[in-house]
Amino acid sequence: MLTVPEVDTSKTGGFRSYMGLTFLIGFGFFTMGLMDPLYDTYVPIFLRRFLSSNTAVGGIMTLDNILQLFLIPVISVWSDRTRTRLGRRMPFILVELPLAALFFSLIPPMASRSLPALLGIVFCFNIFKTSVRGPVVALMPDTIPGDYRSEANGVINMMGGIGLIVSTLVLARLIDVPAWLGAPGGLPFNIASLCIIAAVLVLLAFVREKLPEKTGNPEEKVPVPRSIRRIFGGNGRGDTSVARILLSIFFWFTAYEGAKPFLGLFLVEVMGVSEGNAALAQGVAGISSVIMAVPCGYLAHRLGRRRFIRISLVFLALVLALIPICGFLGTTAALGVFLALMFLYGAVWIGVTVNSFPMLWQIADAGNMGIYTGLYYTFSQSAAILAPPVTGLIIDLAGFWGIFVFGSLCMLAAWVTMGGVRAGEPQK
């Protein structure tokens, strides 16, 4: 089986030697940062043109997560076993990201036609956006040594955060400008799609995957079920740590994904902002995430990833628990306090996301990096499937404030399950 080679850090100059490559790979994450906030903010608003139930809107918003639950693990394993002159991940990126951009640009025109047209184009978009996510994510651990992946993931998340800021604070403000085909809301989607094409060209021009080394012995192709049994302790390496990390991922993404689809509606219906400012909460959180992404990678390397994540989870639970206090304030004060809390939330949340993937990759080897990537998405997307209908029901029964209390409890549950993790730390 392929293994990640040991790196002599004294000769490489530390993470600085990989900084340029990391920024180039980060352009793939920049595109995700452009697409996701526009999709999460405005597709629910588009759906509300046809539907009145928040539970129904939340249910439809899980359709893409259902696709991610199945497609990301399958495509990630497929890319593990792909061998081309361009590498394992790039062929998927070069085909699927441009197609995702095309269908993304078609969402507003279809939203102005009918619910079936909107659902159909959203389905097509998510097929390609979902399929490419695994190869995009696995490209970094393929090229960056394990000890530096927290720092590298910090840089990559910063790139994604910059995309989120551009999407929420610049592109979202163009939502009311008539655009292609005269569809309301089309301009930000069209601009984001062009940026995605540009990012693909950057990756093609500057990123070169390392081709698999040719040896005299054929590479062992372990069946996926056997690989998964090894991952969950069959090889004696991970003990229960992998299972605990994955369960923690499920809990904290239940909190995150439960609130995310409704933040735009919350700002419009409760805080009274315009639709052009519906992405404001995600934009504010994105700014603090960009500021803290790289420092969180370095801090976790020094303090320990598990310890840093658990500290972050306590702060996240506290921030979410404080948000309902806004309901007792005046409208202007409530909006200011809420955005301040979202700024803190983004600064702390990035500490969890930057370091959770590297913990799994540290346990993996080059032959099954895609399987670990797929398992991450299996658990995170399971949460994304279950959470929006649950939080939609909470909103229908108890109002928007209930989803933040629910999220706080989920963060505390993740803190408990992370307590038994004993693997996934950098070696140097």
Look up the CATH number of the domain holding residue 302. 1.20.1250.20
Looking at residue 251, its pLDDT comes to 96
Mean pLDDT, the chain, whole residue set = 80
Joined tokens for residue 177:
């400008």
In a domain, residue 12? The reply is: no
Q: How far apart are CA 294 and CA 296, in angstroms?
A: 5
Q: How far apart are CA 104 and CA 136, in angstroms?
A: 18
pLDDT digits (tens, 9 = 90+) for 62-89: 777 777 777 877 787 787 777 777 777 8
Q: Is the pLDDT of residue 248 over 90?
A: yes
Q: Is the pLDDT of residue 237 over 80?
A: no
- Residue showing tokens 């799994």: 360
pLDDT digits (tens, 9 = 90+) for 207-224: 777 654 554 444 455 555
- Residue showing tokens 């005299």: 216
Q: What is the mean pLDDT of residues 290-298?
A: 86
Looking at residue 411, its pLDDT comes to 96
Looking at residue 219, its pLDDT comes to 47
Q: What is the mean pLDDT of residues 190-219?
A: 72
In a domain, residue 7? The reply is: no
Looking at residue 13, its pLDDT comes to 62
Q: How far apart are CA 248 and CA 253, in angstroms?
A: 8
CB proximity list for 298: less than 8 A, separation 6 or greater = 150, 151, 154
Q: What is the mean pLDDT of residues 55-59?
A: 74
* Domain housing 166: 17-211+226-418
| Distance from the Cα of residue 280 to its chain's centroid | 18
In a domain, residue 387? The reply is: yes
Q: 3-class secondary structure for 300-322?
A: HHHHCHHHHHHHHHHHHHHHHHH
Q: What sign does the CA torsion over 177, 337, 161, 366 have?
A: negative
Q: Burial of 328 by CB count in 10 Å (0-12 exposed, 13-18 middle, 19+ buried)?
A: exposed
Q: What is the mean pLDDT of residues 107-120?
A: 87
Q: How far apart are CA 282 and CA 346, in angstroms?
A: 8
Q: Contact, 418 vs 245, CB < 8 A?
A: yes
Residue 3 pLDDT level (bands cut at 50, 70, 90): very low
Our CA dihedral for 134, 140, 143, 144, rounded to 10 degrees, sits at -140
Looking at residue 310, its pLDDT comes to 95
Q: Is the pLDDT of residue 392 over 80?
A: yes
DSSP classification of residue 170:
I
In a domain, residue 221? The reply is: no
In a domain, residue 63? The reply is: yes
Looking at residue 271, its pLDDT comes to 82
C-alpha pair distances (Å), 331 with each of 51, 73, 337: 27, 44, 10
Task: Pick the range with the lowest mean pLDDT from 65-79, 85-99, 113-127, 299-313.
Answer: 65-79
| Distance from the Cα of residue 336 to its chain's centroid | 26
In a domain, residue 94? The reply is: yes
pLDDT digits (tens, 9 = 90+) for 408-417: 999 999 999 9
Number of compact structural domains in the chain: 1
Looking at residue 227, its pLDDT comes to 56
Q: What is the mean pLDDT of residues 22-27?
A: 82
In a domain, residue 174? The reply is: yes
